[in-house]
Every structure is written in C-alpha cells, then in structure tokens.
C-alpha cells in the first residue's frame, strides 16, 4: 500500500467529474487500499478518488470511533433521501477549514463494494453526511462551494496564508 498525495483546494482537478468504474479490477482494489491508508494517515473520515487525482467514481468512509469499519462505495448512487440537517464539515483538501452545510439527514445508496458486488446501504447522521460530502467530490464539487462567494474568497485567502507559513 502507499500513501497518495491529496489535492488541495482550489486545485482545478478537484472540479473534474469522475467517470464510472466499469469493472472492479486488481488495480481498483489496490487504489481503494491506497486511499484507505491515505485517509487513515491524514487523518480523515472520508476520501474520494477525485481528491487523489484519480477521476473514478470511488469513495471510502469510516466514521467509527475505532477506525475499523471502512465502507467502500464504487459507483455510488443516492436512490432516496429524507430529512435535513446542518453539520460542521471539514475536508482533507481544505485543511483547517470547517463550516456548516445543509444535507439530507438520511440516505439510501446503491453501490459496489471492494469486490465489485452490488449492495444497498441506508445511512443517517454523520455517516450519511460524509457519504454525501464525498459524492460531491465525484461531481467536482467541494463543500465550501455551498457558501457565499465572499466566504469562499476568505477561505482561499486563509489557505494561501497557511501555505506561505508552511513554505517559510
């Protein structure tokens, strides 16, 4: 396994729409394993292939406290949603940036697992929010893009300042 480089906002590659996975191959399973190592090391609770500059419809999520319940969703599709909730979100592509986004409280997702077998998953709360957040990446959308233009500009300025500090 290998740790992958996570793209940092506002990298334009984060706005690439991901392509469906046609078959789960050994290369796709290796990518999933590398994504898991990357996410856990970051540390994070979700990661989309788009964030590691692979534009395939793959997301991984683990919102467990024990960090041992990895959920792999290949070609995920939300087939039902209900309720509404505001969660404070963060993102590995925007370190140190957090803010509220309104999303569905409960979702039903169809996807393939790491082996390519189809399944249906019901999710709620943080788990549902995380899946929706990661699926946004597959559509080329980053969570701060739900905010006003002015707030997005402040985020970009803050990130530039953080990068200058790291470079110094």
Please identify which of the residues 89, 110, 134, 145 carries the catalytic annotation.
134
Task: Locate the DSSP E strands across the chain.
Answer: 46-48, 58-61, 71-82, 85-91, 94-103, 106-112, 118-124
Annotated active-site residue 134? The verdict is yes
Q: Is 23 exposed, middle or buried (0-12, 13-18, 19+ CB in 10 A)?
A: exposed
* C-alpha span between 49 and 159 (Å, rounded): 22
**Alpha helices (runs of H) in 42-92, residue ranges in sequence order:** none
Closest CA to 78 of 106, 49, 109: 109
Strand, helix or coil for residue 145: helix
Which residues are marked as active site?
A: 134
């Amino acid at each position: 396994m290998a740790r992958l480089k996570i793209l940092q906002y506002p990298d334009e590659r984060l706005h690439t729409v991901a392509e469906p996975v046609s078959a789960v191959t050994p290369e796709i399973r290796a990518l999933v394993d590398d994504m898991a190592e990357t996410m856990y090391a970051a540390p994070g609770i979700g990661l989309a292939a788009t964030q590691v500059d692979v534009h395939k419809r793959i997301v991984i999520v683990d919102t467990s406290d024990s960090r041992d319940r990895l959920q792999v969703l290949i070609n995920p599709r939300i087939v039902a949603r209900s309720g509404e909730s505001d969660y404070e979100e963060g993102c590995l592509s925007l370190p140190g940036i957090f803010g509220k986004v309104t999303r569905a409280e409960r979702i039903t997702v169809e996807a393939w697992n790491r082996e390519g077998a189809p399944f249906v998953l019901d999710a709620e709360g943080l788990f549902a929010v995380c899946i929706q957040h990661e699926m946004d990446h597959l559509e080329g959308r980053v969570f701060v893009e739900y905010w006003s233009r002015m707030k997005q500009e402040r985020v970009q300025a803050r990130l530039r300042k953080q990068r200058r500090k790291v470079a110094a």
